[in-house]
Amino acid sequence: MTRLIQPLMALGMLFSIGLTTSGDTLYLDDGSVLTGLVIQDTAHDCVIANARYGDLLVEKSHILYQEINTLVDTLETFTITRDAATVISRIQRTVPDLTADTTRFKLLVPGEVKAICDSDGLEIPFINRLIGNNSLVALNTVDLAPDTLSLLATSLQDGMIQPTASGHLAFKTQYIPDQAKTIRVVLKYPKTFKLQSITPEPQLQLDGLIIWEQTLKRQQKFAPTLVFTP
């Protein structure tokens, strides 16, 4: 569960929360400093994962300055359901370059899309067409706020968890970018799961939360994998 953090001075605390690895830093209006890895960033709030306190929700109104250690090109979040049958994903998609006379555009998103939001967290209406394990969603440009550059799609993905030869289950996603980029992958899972292996080594591992981050060259493969038993 993400914890909401109010100004820390109001609680009589002034401290810096740190990671064993370099991370992102939030400077708050009460003088406190939070260091961790940002796993969600909207116009209104920011969620930062910290090695000691888990994932913390901070309202943007309390953030004086936000320092990102690494410019992340792709940030994707996956949540494994308690029955280990489905993965809920939150995937960012870039709005394509649109001409002045464009009234509708389409995006291809893995899984069955349930919602699409803009950077302010406002839901955008869409028409969904399933094509195999993907959704082809159509959106009207009139529904987007001016200067909207990216959208966040929430979808249900079956097939991301497969049985292994050893009798366990494995979550796996894969990236092979067509250009150099930094990818941050956030995986949330029920704390009752027993973990067997994690590859590659994550930037941060907490109870119920794993974060991988890797800067890739063009056509370099990146395949975050978790092997577990429910």
- Judge if 167 and 224 occupy the same domain: yes
Nearest alpha carbon to residue 50 among 58, 62, 61: 58
Domain assignment of residue 146, yes or no: yes
Amino acid letter, 69: N
Domain assignment of residue 8, yes or no: yes
The pLDDT value recorded for residue 2 is 55
Phi, psi for 8 (deg, rounded to 5): -70, -25
What's the CATH code of the domain at 44?
2.30.30.100
Q: Domain boundary at 132, 157, 182, which?
A: 157
- Judge if 97 and 153 occupy the same domain: yes
Query: Could you tell me the residue range of the domain that residue 219 belongs to?
Result: 161-229
- Judge if 62 and 96 occupy the same domain: no
- Judge if 149 and 167 occupy the same domain: no
- Judge if 39 and 101 occupy the same domain: no
Q: Domain boundary at 136, 157, 178, which?
A: 157
For residue 97, give Cα distances in angstroms to 50, 141, 186. 36, 11, 28
- What pTM, to 2 d.p., does this model score? 0.81
Q: Domain boundary at 128, 157, 186, which?
A: 157
Domain assignment of residue 80, yes or no: no
pLDDT averages per 10-residue partition of the chain, 230 residues: 46 32 79 87 85 86 84 90 95 89 94 91 93 95 90 93 96 95 94 97 92 95 97
- Judge if 96 and 127 occupy the same domain: yes
140: how many CB neighbours lie within 10 A of its CB? Answer: 14
- Judge if 140 and 108 occupy the same domain: yes
- Judge if 117 and 146 occupy the same domain: yes
What's the CATH code of the domain at 114?
2.60.40
**Residue 19 C-beta-side C-alpha neighbours within 13 Å:** 23
Domain assignment of residue 201, yes or no: yes
Domain count, the chain: 3
Domain assignment of residue 115, yes or no: yes
Sole residue written with tokens 């609680």:
11
Domain assignment of residue 73, yes or no: no
C-alpha 189/C-alpha 135 separation (Å) is 24
- Judge if 208 and 176 occupy the same domain: yes
Amino acid letter, 48: I
- Judge if 93 and 152 occupy the same domain: yes
Domain assignment of residue 198, yes or no: yes
- Judge if 191 and 169 occupy the same domain: yes
The pLDDT value recorded for residue 1 is 52
- Judge if 167 and 202 occupy the same domain: yes
DSSP-derived secondary structure for the chain: -PEEE--GGGGT---EE--SS--EEEEETTS-EEEEEEEEE-SSEEEEEETTTEEEEEEGGGEEEEE-SS--SEEEEEEE-TTSS-EEEEEEEEPPP--TT--EEEEEEESEEEEEE-TTS-B---EEEEETTEEEEEEEGGGSPTT--EEEEEEEESSSEEE-TTS-EEEE--B--SS-EEEEEEEE--TTPEEEEEES--SEEETTEEEEEEEE-TT--B--EEEEE-
Domain assignment of residue 72, yes or no: no
Sole residue written with tokens 């250009």:
179
The pLDDT value recorded for residue 83 is 94
C-alpha 90/C-alpha 186 separation (Å) is 10
The sheet with strand 225-229 has its strands ordered as 161-163, 169-172, 225-229, 194-199
